[in-house]
Amino acid sequence: MTNAYAMRNLLELHEYNTMITREAFNTHFTKTRESIRFTFNGWDGKSYDGESRIGRVYRTNLPGYEEVRLIKVGKHLCYIDEDRMITEKATGEQHPEAEWLVEVERAKGCGAGTEQRKELMRDKHDLPSRFWEPQPDEEDLERMTREYTGSELDDEPLPFE
């Protein structure tokens, strides 16, 4: 079988070489009517015992990779490793393993409130979190200096043995 992971070399990657644009996805990949039962073999955090899923097969027009079967789960585009069959412990059936290839950028304007989410993401450092603590003002700093000067806490640190 062709090394499907090498297909990444033909794609223009973004975001630390992990993502393709939505336009590139629409240009190079086509959803088919074919479906496939596959397993992630644990890397999804669920299928440690080979539990399988069913997904629609995508095909590519990239030269040399026309026969590679791909699936899309969320924003992840994965290829089916036909040479690696995993046994599902519950049923004893064997299914091919899906391997991660790239992530696909979300479509522009996808979802309700996209602009509001972007605005919140820009200002998220200004929002208090559950770990947020108020910063001391000048009065607090002066009080702490008076309290700790000359106390046991102001001594030299003890040597570590």
Q: How confident is the model at residue 1 (pLDDT cuts 50, 70, 90)?
A: low
Mean pLDDT across 79-108: 92
Inter-CA distances, 58 with 17, 88, 104, 150, Å: 21, 24, 13, 72
Which tokens hold the place of 141? 């700093």
Mean pLDDT estimate for the chain = 82
User: Is residue 95 within 8 Å of residue 38, measured between CB atoms?
Assistant: yes
Q: How many helices and strands in the chain, by DSSP H and E?
A: 3, 6
pTM of the model: 0.65
Write down the domain spans for the chain.
4-104
114/102: higher pLDDT: 102
- pLDDT tens digits for range 32-75: 999 999 999 887 777 788 889 999 999 999 999 999 999 999 99
pLDDT digits (tens, 9 = 90+) for 123-136: 555 545 555 556 67
